[in-house]
Amino acid sequence: MKVKVVVEFKDGRKFTDNSWNTDPVIIANGKDVNEMHTFEDIIRRVDWSYSMGNLSCDCNLKEFLHKEEYGKFPLEEFECGRTMWAQISKITLEADDGRIHVIVRDEND
Distance CA 86, CA 89 (A): 8
If phi over 0 gives left and psi between -120 and 50 gives alpha, with beta otherwise, what is residue 30? Answer: left
- pLDDT value for 109: 52
CB 75 within 8 A of CB 98: no
pLDDT at position 23 over 60:
yes
* Encoded amino acid at 97, one letter: D
- pLDDT value for 73: 81
- pLDDT value for 93: 98
Question: Which one, of 23, 47, 51, lies nearest residue 36 by Cα?
Answer: 23
Query: Per residue in 75-101, pLDDT tens?
Result: 788 889 988 989 999 999 999 999 999
Query: Per residue in 39-61, pLDDT tens?
Result: 999 999 999 999 999 899 999 99
CB 59 within 8 A of CB 79: yes
- Averaged pLDDT for residues 12-22: 94
- pLDDT value for 107: 63
